[in-house]
């Protein structure tokens, strides 16, 4: 267990590593006119202050990004861009422990998640895209003898990137790495709840030697900094990850400028257990699918569809497994569910416990704020929630809760499972558990989701595209597809007649 003293030293370390109250503009830490506080959701304590960028700061950052795009960044060899990214990846690994400490303190997630998964994954993403920088070629199109026709793939220019609080450093990597590999420059805004690792990354970006203005980092609230960035006429493209509601607002607010958009939005992903599955892995997948990351994952398997012949057995096993998950101090190695990101988020999650009960679902475990009589007494802890006997029409099955809350829904046939799985506004991800290979492929082809996992869940690789169908958005992060979102094709026609 950590003690109050350890927590204070964590705060000191945070202040050492980031420049509180500053914005990264044109390669320098610039003071802002106002500041906000970021809170450790496990203790309720203020960690540090950070800057809020206003419209003037946004304008400066966008101008710096434009100058870098038209200037040095456009003329350095592509392989060199890749080297900056690789260097940044190495620095992330080198500073992994401090980054993980900041991530867990700011977000509340268990330290093992930050240190063993998030930070190495962020580095992997930079490494992966570093290799792409000099491999972005166009085509020659040999369809006429009187002309030489070819295409060039060119960067878009200045990219605004707005990201959520659930995977703060990972989201920085998903956004920055492909945009920079493709030759763009960036103004990035992290979420107000979790600004610290983005600021720490800013330090590492300077250390990696990126030319000034290539990456600018602006902290602040969405309605202030985010909105100014979205409306700025110097921005060529916005890449946003967050809620459907804010995604729509960004679309409306950028429409007048016809700014290009990628939206990675929410999910209500089905996790489907067929009776012929390997039950041990299916159960582990059901628990990890929703409770990893406190359920604050866009792709969380928040609807568990279970074939009726094994439904009672699965529900009983889930209840036992969930009540065995340790909730509490994110720095305790045994903790599996840390603090939810904020009081607001905790209240939102708890409100769905009431909604589920009112709609007639059976709460089989969890759903209460977990109280501690020590430095965690103000922490945002909730015991893992499982509702059984859920009808897919209920609000807990249709609305994204974005917390450790599972809705278990029985089904009788494969057709019914598919129909329930697709009966949602979202289409981000789906998982299924079966030993029938034909069924697995039938389902994978018919599920309306950007990612389908078969006999596994929540697996990511930098080379595999990730993004949504339906209201879960458009455009892709990761993989070669992510680069497409940061490039435009120019056709060149040379007359040979
Ligand atoms: P959010 O409320 O939509 O916020 C996301 C980002 O948008 C934050 O940086 C926020 O700033 C900013 N923002 C808010 N209002 C804005 C405005 N009017 N103009 C410009 N920017 C604005 O989402 P969240 O609560 O942070 O994150 C949870 C959501 O993200 C969930 O729906 C989840 O599914 C989704 N998500 C999706 C993916 C994916 O890949 N599809 C991955 C992770 C999360 P402030 O927070 O500073 O106000
Ligand atoms: Mg915080």
Predicted TM-score of the model (pTM): 0.96
| Phi, psi torsion values for 347, nearest 5 degrees | -65, -35
Let me know if 249 is a catalytic residue. no
pLDDT band at 3 (very low <50, low <70, confident <90, very high): very low
Helix axes 308-323, 279-291, angle to 10 degrees: 50
Q: Is residue 133 lining ligand 1, measured as CB closer than 6 Å?
A: no
Mutate to test the pocket of ligand 1, among 34, 108, 222 (most ligand atoms within 8 A of CB): 222
Mutate to test the pocket of ligand 1, among 53, 246, 298, 450 (most ligand atoms within 8 A of CB): 246
3-class DSSP state for residue 432? strand
Is the separation of the CB atoms in 217 and 188 below 8 Å?
yes
Domain with CATH 3.40.605.10 in the chain: 4-265+473-491
Take atom 11 of ligand 1 and give the residue whose Cα is closest. 222
3-class DSSP state for residue 430? strand
CATH number for 4-265+473-491 (one of 3.30.70.80, 3.40.605.10, 3.20.20.100, 3.40.50.10470): it is 3.40.605.10
- The ligand whose atoms approach the alpha carbon of 339 most closely is 2
- In the chain, pLDDT over 90 holds for what percent of residues? 96
Let me know if 264 is a catalytic residue. yes
Ligand 1 atom nearest residue 428's Cα: 41
- The ligand whose atoms approach the alpha carbon of 191 most closely is 1
Q: Does residue 242 carry a pLDDT above 50?
A: yes
Q: With CA atoms as reference, report the closest residue to 156 among 485, 469, 422.
A: 485
Q: Is residue 267 lining ligand 1, measured as CB closer than 6 Å?
A: yes
Domain with CATH 3.40.309.10 in the chain: 270-462
Take atom 28 of ligand 1 and give the residue whose Cα is closest. 242
pLDDT band at 11 (very low <50, low <70, confident <90, very high): low
Average pLDDT over residues 114-120: 98
Catalytic residue among 45, 52, 113, 264: 264
Q: Is residue 400 lining ligand 1, measured as CB closer than 6 Å?
A: yes
CA distance 291 to 286: 9
Beta-carbon contacts of residue 347 (< 8 Å; ≥ 6 apart): none
Return the pLDDT at 5: 44
Q: With CA atoms as reference, report the closest residue to 190 among 175, 177, 207.
A: 175
Residue 274 C-alpha to ligand 2 middle, in angstroms? Answer: 39
- In the chain, pLDDT over 70 holds for what percent of residues? 97
CA distance 235 to 237: 6
pLDDT band at 1 (very low <50, low <70, confident <90, very high): very low
Residue 391 C-alpha to ligand 1 middle, in angstroms? Answer: 28
CA atoms within 13 A on the CB side of 421: 31
CA distance 242 to 466: 14
CA distance 153 to 86: 22
CA distance 3 to 279: 39
Catalytic residue among 172, 249, 296, 298: 298
Q: Is residue 249 lining ligand 1, measured as CB closer than 6 Å?
A: yes
Q: What is the pLDDT of residues 352-368, one digit of tens each?
A: 999 999 999 999 999 99
Return the pLDDT at 18: 74
Query: Exposed (0-12), middle (13-18) or buried (19+): which is 276, by Cβ within 10 Å?
Result: middle
Return the pLDDT at 6: 56
Measure Cα distances from 275 to 12, 122, 243, 312, 433 in Å: 52, 36, 34, 11, 9
CB atoms within 10 A of CB 3: 12
Return the pLDDT at 2: 47
Return the pLDDT at 4: 43
Q: What is the pLDDT of residues 54-111, one digit of tens each?
A: 999 999 999 999 999 999 999 999 999 999 999 999 999 999 999 999 999 999 999 9
Q: Is residue 302 lining ligand 1, measured as CB closer than 6 Å?
A: no
H or E element, residue 232: none
Q: What is the pLDDT of residues 14-63, one digit of tens each?
A: 667 677 789 999 999 999 999 999 999 999 999 999 999 999 999 999 99
H or E element, residue 230: helix 227-231
CATH fold of 270-462 reads Aldehyde Dehydrogenase; Chain A, domain 2 (3.40.309)
Q: Is residue 287 lining ligand 1, measured as CB closer than 6 Å?
A: no
CA distance 42 to 56: 34
Return the pLDDT at 20: 73
Is the separation of the CB atoms in 60 and 26 below 8 Å?
yes
Bridge partners of residue 51, in order along the sequence: 35
Dig out the tokens for 179 from the structure: 């945009």
Bridge partners of residue 411, in order along the sequence: 307
Q: Hey, which bits of 338-486 come out as E strands?
A: 362-365, 385-388, 405-411, 429-433, 451-454, 473-474
- The ligand whose atoms approach the alpha carbon of 37 most closely is 2
Q: With CA atoms as reference, report the closest residue to 8 among 48, 41, 37.
A: 48
Beta-carbon contacts of residue 320 (< 8 Å; ≥ 6 apart): none
Is the separation of the CB atoms in 150 and 140 below 8 Å?
yes
Is the separation of the CB atoms in 67 and 79 below 8 Å?
no
Q: Does residue 114 carry a pLDDT above 50?
A: yes
Locus of tokens 């974005």: 402
Take atom 23 of ligand 1 and give the residue whose Cα is closest. 242
Q: With CA atoms as reference, report the closest residue to 18 among 95, 125, 87.
A: 95
CA distance 151 to 170: 33
Q: Is residue 261 lining ligand 1, measured as CB closer than 6 Å?
A: no
Any alpha helices (H) in 366-467, and if so which ranges?
A: 395-398, 414-422, 437-446
CB atoms within 10 A of CB 201: 29
Q: Which residues surround ligand 2, an ion (CB under 5 A)?
A: 38-39, 106, 193
Q: Hey, which bits of 33-173 come out as E strands?
A: 34-39, 46-52, 147-155, 158-162
Kindly compute the dihedral angle of the four CA atoms of residues 38, 41, 43, 48, in this order, to the nearest 10 degrees.
-10
Dig out the tokens for 1 from the structure: 């267990």
pLDDT band at 8 (very low <50, low <70, confident <90, very high): low
CA distance 286 to 384: 13
Residue 341 C-alpha to ligand 2 middle, in angstroms? Answer: 7
Return the pLDDT at 7: 54
More confident of the two residues 2 and 211: 211
H or E element, residue 118: none
Q: What is the pLDDT of residues 132-171, one digit of tens each?
A: 999 999 999 999 999 999 999 999 999 999 999 999 999 9
């Amino acid at each position: 267990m950590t003690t109050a003293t350890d927590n204070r030293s964590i705060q000191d370390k945070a202040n050492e590593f980031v420049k509180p109250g500053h914005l990264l503009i044109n390669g320098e830490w610039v003071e802002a006119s106002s500041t906000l506080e970021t809170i450790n959701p496990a203790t309720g304590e203020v960690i540090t202050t950070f800057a809020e960028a206003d419209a003037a700061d946004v304008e400066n950052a966008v101008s710096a990004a434009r100058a870098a795009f038209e200037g040095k960044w456009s003329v350095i060899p592509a392989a060199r861009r890749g080297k900056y990214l690789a260097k940044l990846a190495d620095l992330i690994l080198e500073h992994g422990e401090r980054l993980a400490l900041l991530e867990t303190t700011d977000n509340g997630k268990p330290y093992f998640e930050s240190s063993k998964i998030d930070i190495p994954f962020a580095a992997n993403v930079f490494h992966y895209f570093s290799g792409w920088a000099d491999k972005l070629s166009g085509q020659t199109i040999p369809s006429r003898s009187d002309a030489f026709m070819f295409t060039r793939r060119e960067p878009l220019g200045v990219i605004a990137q707005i990201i959520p609080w659930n995977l703060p450093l990972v989201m920085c990597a998903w956004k920055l790495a492909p945009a920079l590999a493709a030759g763009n420059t960036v103004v990035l805004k992290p979420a107000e709840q979790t600004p610290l690792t983005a600021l720490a990354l800013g330090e590492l970006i300077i250390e990696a030697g990126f030319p000034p203005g290539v990456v600018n980092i602006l902290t602040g609230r969405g309605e202030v900094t985010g909105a100014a960035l979205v409306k700025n006429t110097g921005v060529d493209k916005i890449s946003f990850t967050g809620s459907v509601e804010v995604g729509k607002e960004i679309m409306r607010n950028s429409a007048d400028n016809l700014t290009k958009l990628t939206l990675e939005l929410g999910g209500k992903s089905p996790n489907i257990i067929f009776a012929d599955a390997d039950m041990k892995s299916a159960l582990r997948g059901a628990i990890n699918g929703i409770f990893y990351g406190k359920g604050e994952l866009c792709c969380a398997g928040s609807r568990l569809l279970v074939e009726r012949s094994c439904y009672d057995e699965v529900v009983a096993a889930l209840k036992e497994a969930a009540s065995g998950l340790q909730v509490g101090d994110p720095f305790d190695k045994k903790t599996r569910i840390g603090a939810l990101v904020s009081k607001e988020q905790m209240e939102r999650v708890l409100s769905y416990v009431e909604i589920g009960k009112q709609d007639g679902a059976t709460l089989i475990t969890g759903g209460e704020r977990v109280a501690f009589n020590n430095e965690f007494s103000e922490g945002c802890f909730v015991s893992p929630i499982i509702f059984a006997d859920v009808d897919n029409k209920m609000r807990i099955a249709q609305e994204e809760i974005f917390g450790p809350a599972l809705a278990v829904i029985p089904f009788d046939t494969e057709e019914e499972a598919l129909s329930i799985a697709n009966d949602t506004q979202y289409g981000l991800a789906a998982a299924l558990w079966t030993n029938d290979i034909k069924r697995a492929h039938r389902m994978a082809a018919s599920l309306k989701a950007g990612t389908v996992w078969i006999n596994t869940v929540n697996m990511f690789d930098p080379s595999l595209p990730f993004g949504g169908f339906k209201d879960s958005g458009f455009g892709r992060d990761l993989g070669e597809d992510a680069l497409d979102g940061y490039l435009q094709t120019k056709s060149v026609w040379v007359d040979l007649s």
